[in-house]
Amino acid sequence: MQKITYIDSPEIFLNTVSKKIKQTDIVLDIWCGINPQKYIKPVVHICAEPYEQYAQHLLQKIWNKEKFFIVLKQKWDEVIKTIPKNWVDTIITLDVIEHLEKEEWLEVLKNTIPLARKQVVIFTPYGFLPQEVPEWMKDAWWLDWSEWQKHKSGWTEKDFDENWDIYICPEFHFYDAITNEKFEKPYWAMFAILNKNEYSKYNIYSFTRNIYGFLTHTLPLYFRTNNIFYNPVLKFIYRKIILKIIKK
């Protein structure tokens, strides 16, 4: 059953959601512009950004960071063809889906969810928030891809199935992001969070892989008896039986 939570204060809204976002090791940050997400502190942070100017700016910004960053200069539909299923822990995309046509995004989302092992996090205005940008105008970061800033769709909890947790803030957007003019009435905002099944086949695979690695690699190295502990029978069972069951 879909869980919907309304939070009036923008500060409490963001604080509440930040606690619902899991801290994971591998994060795919889709179309992050020049501002990678900051909710998660992963070991590997994959930033997918299709626009050349944004990607170059992003590389300069993160070059000296301690985390291991990967920048993919790819569109969303290209990313889902590049990243294998169940390869990242979390997929997060902030202020992106409103820039896409709804039919296009729903199809992309269907093929995006299988890439994540643990969680998918989406942030967008609630409902349609109009935003137009003249072709001659620079974008919010004073770069050239201003046409990307146009909003093409609006989203509510009805666009997500019962597996998603929805968090809504009735008053969140107070100013136009392009003109900086104050809205007569604030626009709402929404987080949609999908928690993946922790007991999926992939997690069974990860668990058995870790046991196998411990028995055949970590333990032998610890006792310095690799030739004795390396067991061909375990290797056979792992490859021929366990993997066969998982792939069914």
Domain chopping of the chain, boundaries: 3-195, 201-246
Q: Specify the pLDDT at position 119.
A: 97
Which one-letter DSSP state was computed for residue 37?
-
The band of 203, judged by pLDDT with boundaries at 50, 70 and 90, is low
Predicted local distance difference test score (pLDDT) of residue 149 = 75
Residue 145, burial from CB neighbour count under 10 angstroms (0-12, 13-18, 19+):
middle
Tell me the mean pLDDT in the region 127-154.
70
* 29-43, 53-67, 210-224: least confidently modelled range: 210-224
pLDDT for residue 182? 92
Q: Report the distance separating Cα 100 and Cα 191, nearest Å.
A: 17
Whether 198 has a pLDDT exceeding 60, the answer reads no
This prediction's pTM: 0.74
**What's the CATH fold of domain 3-195?**
Rossmann fold (3.40.50)
Q: What is the pLDDT of residue 244?
A: 60
pLDDT score of 170: 96
pLDDT of residue 135: 63
Residue 211 pLDDT: 55
Question: Given this model, what pLDDT does residue 71 score?
Answer: 84
Average pLDDT estimate for 3-13: 97
**What is the share, in percent, of the chain residues with pLDDT greater than 70?**
70
Query: Would you list the DSSP string of 182-229?
Result: EEEEEEEEEEEEEEPPTTSHHHHHHHHHHHHHIIIIIHHHHHT-HHHH
Percent of the chain with pLDDT over 90: 43
| Interval 221-247: pLDDT, tens | 444 444 434 455 555 655 666 556 555
234 and 211 Cβ atoms separated by less than 8 Å: no
Query: CB neighbours (10 Å) of residue 179?
Result: 11
Per-residue pLDDT tens digits for 54-105 = 777 777 776 656 568 888 888 888 989 889 999 999 999 999 999 889 988 8
Average pLDDT, the chain: 80
Of the given ranges (8-17, 18-27, 35-44, 204-213), which has the lowest mean pLDDT?
204-213
Query: Tell me, what's the pLDDT at 73?
Result: 83
Residue 175's DSSP bridge partners are 182
Tens of pLDDT, residue by residue over 163-190, are 999 999 999 999 987 778 899 999 999 9
